[in-house]
């Protein structure tokens, strides 16, 4: 662990000890201020084994109440099943712990509202794991937009293609509607969230359709595992986001942005401002989001930004509870639209 001795330390208690948790622990311990000092799991875990594995002392708890009662814990990191997120996040807020919360924040608008309200009422800060916002790919893409190289965007699409089948550990719970929710809630939210960051305007209304693959591999899913959402932004721009979790292909985050000065397609772009040949793409060198593996995800940069914001007593940039709620408001409107066969639905 490399801790900067000049800044504050944050002791983090992780709830849930599955795949995401192991990536979180490594990423938190690699920040300047954070260290995971406790893990809570309903499975009995061996504290000595965990401490040896993660290279620092870790206490273990089997009950969330006991972890929350530990006065040494400053931040709670929620990585368990989505259907438990609301109760765990609200309890953490009431215990005055700051919160790192895996996506989905929760699977209903009421639960998300409860989390945001509890955090505000108890003066704690939140970080939602929309870590793709901190990826090199979207940071470079955003910088290109901020430089004005594409002018004003009037169209954008960011799509998520990632087959989540039995080869993934989370398949065992993700197939149930209670925890998986929808194609957008379970995973496509990353692409929709990236689209909202890049377009930079709030959404007025959405129209969404959904279906599912005929493959027997995805048969256990209780909900539609492919959806496509059209977005109407408040500034008049339009967009599209597909959430496809029943595909059989490599992981692919597809990005196409179209503006008054040029276009961007994944890692290629053209800008009239650079006077290059419009008949050919120019190439950007950046690390692409091309893997569903959590050890490849930019959690460290995101958690560093969260702890830096806590040092200042401020909301974190890009993925605070307030910012992430905007994405979930769009998702809940999209899922409502899809449930009604594509009826245009206002975002509340
Ligand atoms: N932001 C991202 O890119 C990303 C990636 C993966 C998962 N997630 C999210 O993280 C959360 C957890 O997902 P995950 O992939 O870690 O799921 P997981 O199946 O590995 O773990 C989920 C829960 O099951 C428990 N668990 C794991 N193995 C168990 C076992 N053998 N017996 C009993 N319980 C066990 C874990 O403690 C955890 O509470 C979800 O909200 C998911 O959406 C986010």
Read off the pLDDT of residues 22-33 as tens digits, 9 standing for 90 and up: 999 999 999 999
**By the 8 A CB rule, do 297 and 319 touch?**
no
Helix segments in 235-318, DSSP class H = 299-312
Ligand 1 pocket mutation pick from 170, 185, 243 by most atoms within 8 angstroms of CB: 170
- Whether 269 lines ligand 1, by a CB cut-off of 6 Å, is no
C-alpha torsion angle, residues 251, 256, 257, 263 (rounded to 10): 130
On the question of pLDDT at 293 being above 60, the answer is yes
Kindly report, residue by residue over 221-240, the tens digit of the pLDDT: 999 999 999 999 999 999 99
Tell whether ligand 1 has an atom less than 6 A from the beta carbon of residue 156: no
Q: Look up the pTM and report it.
A: 0.96
Question: 170 C-alpha vs ligand 1 centroid, how far in Å?
Answer: 6
Examine residue 227 and say whether the peptide bond preceding it is cis (omega within 30 degrees of 0).
no
Q: How far is the CA of 269 from the centre of ligand 1 (A)?
A: 37
Q: What percent of the chain has pLDDT over 70?
A: 98
pLDDT tens track for 54-78? 999 999 999 999 999 999 999 999 9
pLDDT of residue 8: 77
Show the DSSP H helices in the chain as ranges: 19-29, 47-54, 64-68, 85-94, 109-122, 136-146, 171-174, 177-180, 183, 189-199, 299-312, 321-339
19 lines ligand 1 (CB under 6 A): yes
Please report the pLDDT score of residue 1 as a whole number: 46
CB proximity list for 277: less than 8 A, separation 6 or greater = none
Please say if the pLDDT value at position 296 is more than 90: no
Instruction: Check residue 337 and give its pLDDT.
Output: 98
Residues 145, 255 contacting (CB under 8 angstroms): no
* Bridge partners of residue 244, in order along the sequence: 161, 226
Question: Which atom of ligand 1 is found nearest the CA of 17?
Answer: 37
User: Across all residues in the chain, what is the average pLDDT?
Assistant: 96
- Give me the pLDDT at residue 58, please: 98
């Amino acid at each position: 662990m490399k801790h900067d001795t000049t800044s504050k330390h944050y002791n983090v208690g992780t709830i849930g000890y599955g795949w995401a948790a192991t990536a979180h622990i490594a990423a938190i311990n690699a920040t300047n201020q954070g260290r995971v000092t406790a893990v809570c799991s309903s499975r009995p875990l061996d504290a000595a084994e965990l401490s040896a594995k993660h290279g620092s002392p870790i206490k273990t708890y089997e009950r969330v109440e006991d972890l929350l009662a530990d006065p040494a814990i400053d931040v709670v990191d929620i990585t368990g099943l989505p259907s438990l997120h609301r109760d765990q996040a609200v309890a953490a807020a009431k215990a005055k712990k700051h919160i790192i919360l895996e996506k989905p924040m929760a699977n209903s608008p009421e639960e998300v509202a409860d989390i945001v309200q509890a955090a505000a009422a108890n003066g704690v800060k939140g970080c939602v794991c929309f870590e793709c916002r901190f990826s090199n790919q979207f940071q470079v893409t955003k910088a290109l937009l901020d430089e004005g190289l594409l002018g004003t965007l009037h169209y954008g699409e960011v799509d998520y293609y990632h087959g989540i089948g039995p080869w993934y550990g989370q398949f065992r719970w993700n197939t149930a509607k209670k925890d998986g929710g929808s194609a957008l809630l379970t995973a496509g939210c990353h692409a929709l969230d990236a689209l909202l960051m890049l377009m930079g305007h709030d959404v007025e209304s959405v129209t969404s359709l959904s279906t599912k693959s005929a493959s027997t591999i995805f048969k256990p899913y209780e909900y539609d595992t492919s959806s496509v959402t059209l977005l109407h932004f408040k500034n008049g721009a339009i967009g599209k986001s597909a959430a496809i979790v029943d595909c059989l292909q490599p992981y692919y985050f597809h990005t196409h942005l179209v503006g008054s000065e040029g276009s961007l397609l994944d890692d290629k772009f053209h800008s009239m401002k650079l006077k290059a040949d419009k008949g050919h793409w120019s190439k950007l060198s950046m690390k692409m989001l091309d893997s569903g593996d959590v050890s490849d995800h930019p959690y460290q940069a995101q958690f560093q930004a969260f702890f830096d914001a806590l040092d200042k007593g401020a909301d974190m940039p890009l993925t605070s509870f307030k910012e992430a709620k905007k994405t979930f408001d769009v998702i809940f409107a999209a899922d409502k639209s899809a449930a009604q066969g594509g009826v245009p639905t206002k975002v509340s």
